[in-house]
Structure 1
Amino acid sequence: MAMLFSTTAAPSPSTIRALLPTPPTLQSKGPLWTLTTPSMETNTHCQAGEGASNGSLECANCVAGKYGPAAGLGCFDCGRGKSISTEGATSETQCSLCPIGKSSPATGLPSSCESCPSGGYAPGEGYAMCAICPQNTVSDVTSTSCITQPGYYVDPDGEIVQAPDGVSKDVGDMQLKGLSLAPGFWRTNSNSTEILPCLNEDHCVGGSDPSSYCAEGYTGPLCAVCSSGYAAIGASENLSCNQCSGSSTATVAGGVLLIVFLLSAALLYRFKEKCLGRGRLQSFDSAFSVASKKFEKVQPVIKIVFSYFQVVNGLGFLFGIKFPPIYSRVTSFIGGIVSLDFISFLPLGCMAPADFYSSLLAYTALPLVLSACLIGYYFSLSKKTDEKSVSTRNKIFETFLAITFVLLPSVSIKVFSTFACHDFDDGSRYLIVDYSIDCNTSTHSLYWLYSGLMVLLYPIGIPFMYWYLLWKRRDLLSCNHRMKEMEMSEDRALESALKEREANEEKHKTLKALSFLYDSYEPKYWWFEVFETLRKLVLTGFLVFVAPGTAAQVLFSLVMCINAMRVYSVKKPFIDDFNDKFSEVAQWQLFYTLLAALAMKVNLDNENLQARRYFDILLTLLQFVPALVLTIMNLLEAREATSQRTVGHSDNDFGGEGNEEEGLELGEVESSLTNASARRSFTNVVSIREGRSLSKQAVELGGEAVSKHEKRKG
């Protein structure tokens, strides 16, 4: 038990004796010696150890608690802090000091000393009074010291200090070295006063021994490292250390087989003519062509969804926030898919040592190798000018751009993570994304330099490449759209610009290779994909350098999100109204997610367990708002299109032969628009996008009657 003393020391036996009444003294008065006290004189003829009551001549043994030092002196009390249990004592030395934990507050007690009550203590012998325990300490009956009550501990200076969050609240008698941590918390060593929450509370079991803070299979700082014989799946709060066994090996093998299958499918497509034969090849090409056209129509929506989850997937790491478990698992799973991060789902550590350095090399080097192969194949066809070769070259470059779009945010976060280390109170520094890596090593310094080069190549190089490729062809892409808006109506200007851009694609065959970057946007916003790329980079990797781990970092991201939202709402860059609205919904969804992150950062969610669960479920459901909006808007547009067709048929029934011809022509145009969102754009623009033109009669009836901007007003 930790011995504590009150701020005012308990009185010592010598002090107590000094407070006693003046002891009796012997004085000479003729032939007799008498004992004199300040209150009275006693003159008896009793023997030592005896005394007589006042006015009595009969002597009796001194009772327990008293002693008679000599004949004729009578009986005297043992002092405070002493006691004697026998009768007829003849010497003060027979008065024994009260043992520790007990006291004698009065003189002449006839029995043994009294035990100190609860809340008091006597640390030594001979205490007349029990000392009172200091504030925030407690004691039991007959205590020789006080112990800290639960929630407090004794620091190295002997001061009683309130225990920080993370220390067990039901354990008392704690000193700094023996602090008992609650489950879900960790500290560097037994002398540390910095109690840190674990990334995943299930990984930390707590206790008072630093060597046993972590659950089985986990070790290292914050219990965020897998022990020997275990392999990591996931990262950060979603880290799971699985014991290496036959099932783990089977999981890895299954993942490898999946990758092999995908590569085989790619090779099959590349050499489809040799593998399938001409008959099957025509059928394959026909199906692939239909799928490609459908994909082109939904490509803007897919890009918006991808961009959203690419951002939210890294927020927990960037902000240092433990998001609720359901939300965290859902976004981590979807984020891994949209970022093609299948490696994190496989226990590769069971087959070979795997850490952040190996994944950094894989994430940065493999895209370079793949891109080099694609670009090499692209230039190998540069001398061929036939239509098939040009089309193949364009598809190769589109594939290259799509790969950069998908991988850039995740690779950027991976690269920027090299610079983010966690400083602990013992002077150690560990990489936040992988706590098995010590930042104070020469090896990390080398990877720090390597990551600096990758920053130039990925987060800086790819957006610059986008801008250069588009800026170099800006005249072919913008088609004087803004000038045309000054000369004609906004809708006619857009229609004319789209026609001119399509003509440029036919004239300059290689222009189509950049369609992934501009095809969804109005001609005057040919640069918008560069803005979107920079927006994602600012909200992902760049945040590592903005007040990391603070509420200011979350506030900065909120400001950036609001500014981007304003750009989307004002510019409305997409050709299709539906995509404009859908992208704005995604921005609002991101704003609310960041707002929830800010609430968690400043502990505004400090509610009971039920409230936390509601918060988790609400935040998870919020991630599917765009999908719900997409479904509702498509249903409403399909209903609107059905109503318009019904009205058209009614007009044909009453309009005669001429009207029947007009209604049929418009019906053919509408039947070609299989995608519901495309029907929101004015009819002639959509027809241009499909490679068809409207007859003069159709334009007069419906080409401009329902324009993009008139719909907004309505």
Structure 2
Amino acid sequence: MMVHAKAVRKGSLHRVGQTGCEVVTGYYNDGNEGQSVAIPNGVKKDIPGMTLQTLDLEEGFWRKSPDSVEIYECLNSKHCKGGVNTTDLCSDGYSGPLCAVCASGYAAVGSQQQLTCETCSGVSDFKIYVVFVGVALLFASIFYFIFRQSNESTQELIRSQSEYWFFWLYAIAMIFVYPLGIPGLYTYLLRDKMEKLEAGQAKFEEEMGAKEALEKALEVRTEHEKTDPELRALTFLYESYEPKYWWFEILETGRKLCLTGFLVFLAPRTATQIVMSMTISIMTTRVYSGAKPFISDFNDRFAEVAMWQIFFTMFGALAIRVDLDGESLQDRWYFDMFLTLIQFLPLLIVVFMNDKIGATYSYDKETRASEWERLEGVVVQSDAIGIEEGVAGGEGGFEMRGLGREGG
């Protein structure tokens, strides 16, 4: 609310004092040839002799400068303490026009009338990092000694291996360089098995339809899993994706790190941070919608919906940042409902499409189980044939079978 002072007839509301003319209570001298002006709302009215420069504002009001006749009501009366000094009208922790932003060293909680500015802890990032690492090392030590006591024989076996200390040191180092270590480890492990993971899907697509090529590539990949225990141990990184997208979990890990760890290097609660997160979200959404990396078509669609959810959440944060949600109470209600619906959209999809999800999961599980059973039969049959050949051909037959298995 803005109030304009209204001038009255010069000299009509003065009284003669010991030192000259003084303005009576309820009016102030605007400095323009002694003209008296009625005190507007927001200014204390029981103080005589005030001038334009010495107007004493009540709590909950603000003005731009000592020469300003425009008095504004603050969004929250507690933000503005009032007074004479226009550079010190805000309560502790607040600053700016209408005292509606937080001062340096204070963190904003809420917005508009509900804004509160809380004192920052003052703890440096380095101290937080040291505490985090210390706690991580403490828990690692506790679990290490518990595991050592309960698995003494297994521990002795591990200690005898040359790789033990390498991976022990690597694990300690990853506490400090997690953002690089985990994606790097994923990349190293998956690239080492790249040919087996890809399973010739791209080549099959040149010879047959996309669906047939996918089924053929999955069969080949399953055969590789059966004969390669190291590959089988990595299934949690790739089993949901098509063979040609064996690398997608690396991309997904990078996306999560960018939306969490990378953004902390930008000023918090700023438009820059929000716009950067929106950019990352829309780029990864385009990758998901274009590649469709999952074996299940439902998972492809569900993942894309989840990507759009993140984007619109960031879009809502940007709208709040520029106060688009506060135009009216009705608009704000619609805005809140929109953000709430966005947050629950993936959950609603799961609830209303539960039958389809269950059928998809059941189909994938049964298909994988039947494929394993088929491969078990092939391996058992091959072993039986190899044994018969070995018995018939003598020692050389066993050597040939052994070489053949290693090569396969």
Query: What TM-score, normalized to structure 2?
Result: 0.64
Does the alignment pair 1:601 with 2:321? yes
Equivalences for residues 203-602 of structure 1 within 5 A: 222-225=118-121, 356-357=128-129, 359-362=131-134, 364-365=136-137, 380=157, 457-546=177-266, 548-602=268-322
Shift of 1:678: 3.2
Equivalent in the alignment of 2:50? 145
Shift of 1:224: 4.8
Does the alignment pair 1:174 with 2:81? no
* Change in 2 beyond 3 A, CA 1:591/1:483: same
Contact kept in structure 1, 2:259 and 2:277, CA below 8 Å: yes
2:324 counterpart SS class = coil
Q: Which amino acid aligns with 1:365?
A: L
2: CA distance, partners of 1:478 / 1:578: 22
Which one has a bigger Cα radius of gyration? 1
* Equivalent of residue 678 in structure 1, options 356, 361, 386: 361
* Change in 2 beyond 3 A, CA 1:553/1:687: same
Q: Which amino acid aligns with 1:132?
A: S
Greater percentage in helix = 2
Deviations 1:465-518 (A, max 9, x none): 101100011111111111111122222221221111111111111211111101
Contact kept in structure 1, 2:25 and 2:49, CA below 8 Å: no
Contact kept in structure 2, 1:101 and 1:122, CA below 8 Å: no
* Change in 2 beyond 3 A, CA 1:101/1:531: farther
Contact kept in structure 2, 1:481 and 1:493, CA below 8 Å: yes
Deviations 1:656-701 (A, max 9, x none): xxxxxxxxxxxxxxxxxxx32236xxx7x76541234899xxxxxx
Query: What TM-score, normalized to structure 1?
Result: 0.39
1:521 counterpart SS class = coil
2:293 counterpart SS class = coil
Shift of 1:568: 0.9
Shift of 1:624: 1.9
Q: Which amino acid aligns with 2:27?
A: G
Question: Structure 2: any 5+ residue segments left out of the alignment?
Answer: 1-9, 162-166, 375-408
Deviations 1:639-663 (A, max 9, x none): xxxxxxxxxxxxxxxxxxxxxxxxx
* Change in 2 beyond 3 A, CA 1:380/1:534: farther
Shift of 1:615: 3.5
Q: Which amino acid aligns with 1:174?
A: V
Contact kept in structure 2, 1:101 and 1:116, CA below 8 Å: no
Shift of 1:170: 7.8
2: CA distance, partners of 1:577 / 1:173: 66
Equivalent in the alignment of 1:186? 93
Does the alignment pair 1:132 with 2:36? yes
2:234 counterpart SS class = helix
1:569 counterpart SS class = helix
Contact kept in structure 2, 1:102 and 1:142, CA below 8 Å: no
2: CA distance, partners of 1:611 / 1:592: 17
* Change in 2 beyond 3 A, CA 1:140/1:456: closer
Contact kept in structure 1, 2:214 and 2:242, CA below 8 Å: yes
Equivalences for residues 618-697 of structure 1 within 5 A: 618-635=338-355, 637=356, 675-678=358-361, 687-692=366-371
* Change in 2 beyond 3 A, CA 1:466/1:617: same
1: CA distance, partners of 2:142 / 2:204: 42
Q: Which amino acid aligns with 1:186?
A: G
Shift of 1:200: 3.6
* Change in 2 beyond 3 A, CA 1:693/1:364: closer
Equivalent in the alignment of 2:385? none
1: CA distance, partners of 2:131 / 2:46: 62
1: CA distance, partners of 2:214 / 2:49: 91
User: RMSD in angstroms over aligned alpha carbons?
Assistant: 4.8
* Change in 2 beyond 3 A, CA 1:178/1:597: closer
2:370 counterpart SS class = coil
Contact kept in structure 1, 2:102 and 2:108, CA below 8 Å: no
Equivalent in the alignment of 2:108? 199
2: CA distance, partners of 1:142 / 1:564: 64
1: CA distance, partners of 2:159 / 2:232: 15
Q: Which amino acid aligns with 1:623?
A: Q
Question: Structure 1: any 5+ residue segments left out of the alignment?
Answer: 1-9, 12-80, 83-96, 104-114, 124-128, 207-213, 215-220, 227-354, 385-396, 398-403, 405-452, 639-674, 696-714
Deviations 1:166-209 (A, max 9, x none): 6758865432576353xxx7259xxx99743753469xx99xxx
Shift of 1:527: 0.4
1:575 counterpart SS class = coil
Deviations 1:359-417 (A, max 9, x none): 52256536765897999969946999xxxxxxxxxxxx9xxxxxx9xxxxxxxxxxxxx
Q: Which amino acid aligns with 1:222?
A: E
Contact kept in structure 1, 2:30 and 2:37, CA below 8 Å: no
2: CA distance, partners of 1:621 / 1:580: 21
